[in-house]
Amino acid sequence: MLHFIVNIKSGKGKALKNIRKITDYLAKKGIEYSMHITRYPGHGEELARSLSALDDPTIIAMGGDGTFHEVINGIIDFEKVRIGFIPCGRGNDFARAAGFNKNPIKALEDILRGEETRFDYINVGSRRCLNIAGTGMDVDVLLRVDGSQKKLTYLKSLISCLARFKPYNVTATVNGETKEFSCLVAAVCNGIAFGGNMKVSPDSKIDDGVLDLRILTMPSGSVWKYLPKFLSGRHIKEPWSIHYKCESAKITAPLPVQLDGEIYKDLPMDCSIVKGGIRTFRIKK
């Protein structure tokens, strides 16, 4: 039996439209399912915790990165639960990195084929993160956006932040070394992008068993001329873009932390890779 956890507010109504398509398809195929609608922040996590206590459940998250984030944090035992993902958000940064089909029926058919695969996730203290854990300007921007997932809103907030931006001092411990940086962003990446496809780590892979620590220090001269490179991922060859491959990294900074776009004010950014930790479904190419 399939158990859906759906945020109907995702994608400005996209998830609600997709529910109708999904339920019509399941009815025609005679497939049993249960549908669970999230009602408040954190409800997806509660639902996932309850459903993952069932015998050999398949839980399907429908929504954006925030919904996916809640669901994976509610799973009790990843070896017992298989998780499907149907992207319905506006940014869909993790869905893009994973290659999930944007068509809800095709994404569902990938799940129904039942061919299992696995990908990594990040442990950050007591929380789990699918895509990117970050601190610095990305957190500042998200606080200004105040929960909106619109790419244009994020970009406007980014430009506003850059207009008055002062670098943050962070301490990074990675691969046995501890260093201090004055930077724009410090991000531990499993996925590629945040903020609606802003490619902070364009060559990251969600199933390679390693993390990518990206530290963007303050470039010399005007920040504005480097903005297009940052948005497109071409910054990675610049001297102000510092990169470490690692299995764990600890960042100390004055700002809160964001995990998959969700803000945590008192969470230490102590990150480690969980290799192949998510049981999911192979995507048809």
Distance in angstroms (rounded) separating the CA atoms of residues 206 and 131: 8
Q: Can you name the residues that pair with 188 across neighbouring β-strands?
A: 133, 213
Alpha-carbon separation of residue 76 from 18, 54, 73, 80, 161 (angstroms): 27, 10, 8, 8, 39
Alpha-carbon separation of residue 217 from 52, 125, 187 (angstroms): 42, 25, 12
Residue type at 74 in one-letter notation: G
Distance in angstroms (rounded) separating the CA atoms of residues 128 and 121: 7
- Burial track 108-133 (b if 16+ CB lie within 10 A, e otherwise): bebbeeeeeeebbbbbbbebbbbbbb
8 A C-beta contact, residue 75 and residue 46: no
| Structural domains of the chain in order of their starting residue, each with its CATH number | 2-114 (3.40.50.10330), 132-273 (2.60.200.40)
Angle at 16 between CA 13 and CA 22, to 5 degrees: 140
**Per-residue pLDDT reduced to its tens digit, 45-63:** 999 999 999 998 999 999 9
Distance in angstroms (rounded) separating the CA atoms of residues 218 and 198: 18
Alpha-carbon separation of residue 140 from 120, 143, 159 (angstroms): 27, 5, 11
pLDDT tens, residue order, the chain (285 aa): 999 999 998 888 888 999 999 999 999 999 999 999 999 999 999 999 999 999 989 999 999 999 999 999 999 999 999 999 999 988 899 999 999 999 999 999 999 999 999 999 999 999 999 999 999 887 877 777 665 545 556 667 776 776 667 788 999 999 999 999 998 889 999 999 988 888 999 999 999 999 999 999 877 666 667 777 877 888 898 898 999 999 999 999 988 999 999 999 999 999 999 999 999 999 987
Distance in angstroms (rounded) separating the CA atoms of residues 269 and 249: 8
Distance in angstroms (rounded) separating the CA atoms of residues 76 and 47: 11
Tell me the two tokens of residue 197.
């496809």
pTM of the model: 0.91
